C-alpha cells in the first residue's frame, strides 16, 4: 500500500491529508490492515506449501495485484478479459481468467492479451467447460503466436459453470489436445456456494463433497495419462479446507484482503488465519430528524446485495444501525432505543456487506495509515478495472 500511484484525479490532493479531508461517499482502506491480511495469507500459503493466486476481481487494482505478487503470490485471477487487460496495462504479467469466455469479439481480446503477456515473458490462462468454448478459443488463438494455459472447470457443487466431474472433464481435456496453442494446465474447481455457509461444519461438508468430485476427476484423468498439473480453487470462506485436502495445489481467495460484513458473519475456522476488516465506506450525515439520521451512502456507493452495511463506530461515536434509504441515502437509527444520534455533518464509517461489488462502484480507494480517526492518506489506489 506504499506503491507510488500515478493516478491523476480529483483525489490527487488528498495525499498526506487527514481522513477528515476525504469527501463522501468514499471508499477507504485501512492500509495497515490490508498489509497484515496480505502477509497472513502469504504466510499461510508458504506454511502449507501451496501456491497462491489471489482473486483480483475484489480490488481490480494493478497496484494491489503487484503488491500481492511481491508478497509471494504467483499471479492473480480475474473474472473478465477487461479486468485482465486493465491489470496487464498496470504491469501484472501472470493472469488467470477464471471464467468462461465465448464471444468471438472477447476471444480476440483474449488472444491479444496472451500475446502481450508472452512478449513480456508472462502468461495468460483461462477456464473452459464446453466443446464450443474450446473450439472458439482455439480459433481465436490462431491469430497469435502465443499459447494460453487452459483449465477445465468442473462443477464441484455450486451448480453454476463447470462440466460434470469425471469422464466429461476427460473428454474436454482430450479435445484440448487438438490445438497446439491451448496448453492443458489442470482443473479449475471452485465452490462459490460454500464460501458463505455459516458454520465450519457446513463448509467442511461442502468442500469434502467437492474433494470427492475433484479426486474422481483427477483419477479418471490419470488413467487416461492426463493427470492435472494444477488443481486451483478455494475462496476466503474455505481455502483452509482446500489446502488441507491434499488435492488442490493452488488457492485463489480474494476477499480476505479487505473482508466484509458477510464474511465476518461466518463462524471462524481456526485452521485459517484471522483477517481484519480493512475496507470502509466513509459517509456523512446530511439530515437528522425525529428518531433517525440520514447519511449520503446509498446503493450507488455501497452494494446491498448481501444485506445492509454495518456501522463502524469509532471511540466516542454512537452505535447505529443502517437501513436502505435508496440510491443516495442510508437511514441510521440508534442501536439502543432512544439512544444518541449523530449530528448533521458528522462522519459515519460503514462496513460493506459485500466488498467486491462495492469496490466496483468507485473509481478509487483512499488508503489511510495510522487509523481512520487520526491517520493520514498514504495512497490513492485506482480501481483500474472498474466496470470492466
Binding site for a second copy (CB under 8 A): 23-24, 57, 79-80, 99-103, 105-106, 129-130, 132-133, 136, 155, 159-164, 192, 284-290, 292, 294, 299-300, 303-305, 324-329, 331, 343-345, 356-357, 360-363, 386-387
Residue pair 151/231 in contact by the 8 Å Cβ criterion? no
- Cβ 137 to a second copy shortest distance, Å: 12
Residue whose CB is less far from a second copy, 4 or 105:
105
- Cβ 335 to a second copy shortest distance, Å: 18
Residue whose CB is less far from a second copy, 228 or 298:
298
Residue whose CB is less far from a second copy, 45 or 331:
331
Q: Would you call 309 exposed, middle or buried from its count of C-beta atoms within 10 A (0-12, 13-18, 19+)?
A: buried
DSSP string, 70-123: HTT---EEESSHHHHHHHHHTT--EEEE-S----HHHHHHHHHHHHHHHHTT-E
Residue whose CB is less far from a second copy, 106 or 183:
106
Residue whose CB is less far from a second copy, 211 or 295:
295
- Within 13 A of 124's CA, how many CA atoms are on the CB side? 33
- The candidate with the shortest Cα–Cα distance to 76, out of 285, 338, 371, 385, is 385
- Cβ 121 to a second copy shortest distance, Å: 28
- Cβ 359 to a second copy shortest distance, Å: 10
Residue whose CB is less far from a second copy, 45 or 210:
210
From CA 283, how far away is CA 61, in angstroms rounded?
Answer: 23
| b/e code 293-303 from CB counts within 10 Å (16+ = b) | bbbbbbbebbb
From CA 282, how far away is CA 309, in angstroms rounded?
Answer: 12
- Cβ 88 to a second copy shortest distance, Å: 16
- Cβ 153 to a second copy shortest distance, Å: 8
Amino acid at each position: 500500500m506504499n506503491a507510488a500511484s500515478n493516478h491523476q484525479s480529483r483525489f490527487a490532493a488528498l495525499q498526506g491529508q487527514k481522513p477528515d479531508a476525504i469527501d463522501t461517499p468514499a471508499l477507504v482502506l485501512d492500509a495497515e490492515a490490508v498489509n497484515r491480511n496480505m502477509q497472513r495469507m502469504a504466510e499461510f500459503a508458504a506454511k502449507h506449501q501451496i501456491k497462491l493466486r489471489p482473486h483480483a476481481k475484489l480490488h481490480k487494482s494493478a497496484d494491489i495485484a503487484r503488491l500481492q505478487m511481491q508478497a509471494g503470490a504467483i499471479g492473480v485471477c480475474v473474472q473478465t478479459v477487461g479486468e485482465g487487460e486493465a491489470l496487464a496495462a498496470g504491469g501484472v504479467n501472470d493472469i488467470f481468467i477464471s471464467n468462461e469466455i465465448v464471444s468471438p469479439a472477447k476471444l480476440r481480446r483474449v488472444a491479444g492479451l496472451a500475446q502481450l503477456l508472452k512478449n513480456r515473458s508472462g502468461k495468460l490462462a483461462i477456464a473452459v467447460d464446453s466443446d464450443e468454448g474450446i473450439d472458439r478459443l482455439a480459433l481465436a488463438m490462431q491469430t497469435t503466436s502465443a499459447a494460453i494455459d487452459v483449465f477445465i472447470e468442473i462443477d464441484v457443487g455450486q451448480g453454476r459453470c463447470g462440466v460434470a466431474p469425471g469422464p466429461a472433464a476427460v473428454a474436454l481435456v482430450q479435445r484440448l489436445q487438438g490445438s497446439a496453442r491451448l496448453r492443458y494446465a489442470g482443473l479449475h474447481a471452485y465452490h462459490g456456494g460454500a464460501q458463505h455457509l455459516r458454520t465450519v461444519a457446513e463448509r467442511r461438508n461442502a468442500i469434502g463433497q467437492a474433494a470427492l468430485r475433484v479426486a474422481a476427476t483427477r483419477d479418471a484423468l490419470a488413467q487416461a495419462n492426463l493427470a492435472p498439473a494444477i488443481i486451483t480453487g478455494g475462496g476466503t470462506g474455505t481455502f483452509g479446507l482446500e489446502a488441507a485436502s491434499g488435492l488442490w495445489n493452488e488457492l485463489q481467495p480474494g476477499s480476505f484482503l479487505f473482508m466484509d460484513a458477510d464474511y465476518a458473519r461466518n463462524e471462524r475456522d481456526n485452521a485459517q488465519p484471522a483477517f481484519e476488516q480493512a475496507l470502509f465506506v466513509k459517509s456523512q450525515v446530511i439530515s437528522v430528524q425525529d428518531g433517525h439520521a440520514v447519511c449520503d451512502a446509498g446503493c450507488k456507493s455501497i452494494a446491498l446485495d448481501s444485506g445492509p452495511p454495518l456501522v463502524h463506530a469509532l471511540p466516542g461515536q454512537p452505535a447505529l444501525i443502517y437501513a436502505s434509504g435508496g440510491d443516495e441515502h442510508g437511514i441510521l437509527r440508534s442501536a439502543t432505543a432512544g439512544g444518541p444520534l449523530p449530528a448533521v455533518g458528522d462522519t459515519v464509517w460503514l462496513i460493506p456487506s459485500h466488498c467486491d461489488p462495492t469496490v466496483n462502484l468507485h473509481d478509487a480507494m483512499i488508503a489511510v495509515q495510522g487509523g481512520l480517526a487520526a491517520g493520514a492518506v498514504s495512497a490513492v489506489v485506482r480501481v483500474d478495472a472498474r466496470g470492466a
